[in-house]
Amino acid sequence: MLIDHNYINNLLATSSRLTDQQLEAILEKSQNKQQLSPAEVASLLQVENQKQLQRIYQTAGQVKNSIYGNRVVVFAPLYISNYCVNNCTYCGYRRDNDFPRTKLSQEQVEEEVKILEKMGHKRIALEAGEDPVNCNLDYVLQCLDTIYHTENVNGRIRRVNVNIAATTVEDYKRLKTKDIGTYILFQETYHQPTYEKVHPASIKGDYQYHLTAFDRAMEAGIDDVGGGVLFGLADYRFEVLALMLHNQHLEEKYGVGFHTVSVPRLKKAEGMSLEMFPHLVSDQDFKKLVAIIRLAIPYTGMILSTRETAELRRELVDYGISQISAGSCTGVGGYKENEMQKSTDQFSIEDNRSPLEVLKELVSDGLVPSYCTACYREGRTGDRFMRLAKSGQIQNVCHPNALMTLMEFMLDYGDQELLAQGEAFIDQEVNSIAREDIKNLVRKNLARLKQGERDLYL
């Protein structure tokens, strides 16, 4: 069984509180990039002592920096349809919610993409409800074509990650032909009784079919997959361990685990009350689970959405988050500026800042915002990406590429404040590049960007 509930429950029941010495032994193992055992992860999940928690946070930040450096990837979601045949009790798009359903025409997709590009975005995540009639795969593929072919004043979207419902191997093969980035699918909850309870009378209610979706995607040749849990549906400790076991299964069977893991936390949505859910996750437990996931799967990207406040997002970047959304809208057609009635959102968001505001904060914190999509376009995906990441060689391309995308953003979408702040910061970062050949190439490319060239990368 892929997710053995008895095994996980037994681990949680038998794991004991760690002594400081035991904790340090586990943290040292993680710092050395050695895989933690499920029993060790279970023990970390039991930690409540504030001093020990601070050590977990600190070490998670060190592990993340040793692999990703000071880069933070920035993206935005694009919702193309809120038609849905499912009745997920936590979702604003659920079938029983009575509101006018809509999906974007290709002209509207183009309008939304132009607005996103005008905000500076170069990578987006396509999102849609599950409806085999009103939002079938043919429609999704057509939207992908429109997104990639939409040209704006300063360019176009360079890579689209796709979050659509679990489907067949044949459909995943068709999806792969559209040069997608990562295929994303949230398990929502790995706890099967809870899964079946929160997905009543739904296509999505087939736990095993949903759980094995990544196997079918991998069989179809999609080697970058992104998992996720909606924390708050079931015991977060069970979810973290199940997530680790799912990642382990993919690594053992296909040679590569999750490219990314998303950590959305249950938020208020239309047609539901948070009081319905007994496993809501506190801020402290949320910080802990983020740090522990980073320690357990150090090479996996970790994504945090605008569901969380700006303050908490800023803190969690220090504990393991490597990708954040910015300027997000979770409604269909919601980016069109002041021309449409307010869209129905899938869930509420708490960080409403523009990408420009987010980038200013990142730079002021000594972090490099990255819009880079080079790895996708150069074939550095799946096990090839992981080999480069584990060898440390990926830093020779990712950090320089991040600096070039930051310069591009500042020139095309920035204001004087960001330009003044960012140019000095970029110069400082270029000087820190160890290899002289790469340092010189980056300097040349930065000069070319200032002269009007675009989309330069290693």
For the segment 182-201, what is each residue's pLDDT rounded down to a tens digit?
999 999 999 999 999 999 99
Res. 169: pLDDT tops 50: yes
Burial (0-12, 13-18, 19+ Cβ within 10 Å), 124: buried
Read off the tokens for 328. Answer: 């997000």
pLDDT bin (cut points 50, 70, 90) of residue 347 is low
Task: Provide the mean pLDDT of the chain.
Answer: 94
In 3D space, the residue among 172, 170, 83 whose CA is nearest the CA of residue 132 turns out to be 83
- Tell me, what's the pLDDT at 383? 84
Torsions phi, psi for 405 (to 5 deg): -70, -30
User: CA 81 to CA 22: how far, in whole Å?
Assistant: 49
Question: What does the block give as tokens for 256?
Answer: 């590569």
Distance CA 139, CA 106 (A): 9
Token representation of residue 211: 């759980």
pLDDT band of 381, cuts 50, 70, 90: confident
CA geometry: angle 238, 244, 248, nearest 5 deg: 140
DSSP state at residue 303: E
Q: Is the pLDDT of residue 419 over 90?
A: yes
Assess whether pLDDT exceeds 80 at residue 392.
no
Give the residue among 134, 242, 136, 143 at the shortest CA–CA distance from 186: 242
Say if residue 301's pLDDT is above 90: yes
What does the pLDDT average to over 83-91?
96
What confidence score (pLDDT) does residue 165 get? 97
Residue-level pLDDT at 346 = 60
pLDDT at 341: 46
Fold for 70-378, please state it.
TIM Barrel (3.20.20)
Structure confidence by residue, pLDDT tens digits, 258-273: 999 999 999 998 899 9
CA nearest to 165, candidates 248, 229, 223, 86:
86
Mean pLDDT, residues 221-249 taken together: 97
How high is the pLDDT of residue 382? 84
Say if CB 374 and CB 416 are below 8 A apart. Answer: no
Give the pLDDT mean for 166-173. 98
What share of the chain has pLDDT > 90, as a percent? 88
- As to burial, measured by CB atoms within 10 angstroms (0-12 exposed, 13-18 middle, 19+ buried), residue 247 is buried
Q: Where are the domains of the chain?
A: 5-65, 70-378, 385-450
Residues 359, 425 contacting (CB under 8 angstroms) = no
Whole-number pLDDT of residue 338: 39
Reported pTM: 0.95
Output the pLDDT for position 337: 56
Distance CA 351, CA 356 (A): 13
CB atoms within 10 A of CB 352: 11
**Cβ–Cβ under 8 Å, residues 347 and 268:** yes
Quickly state the pLDDT bin for 379 (edges 50, 70, 90): confident
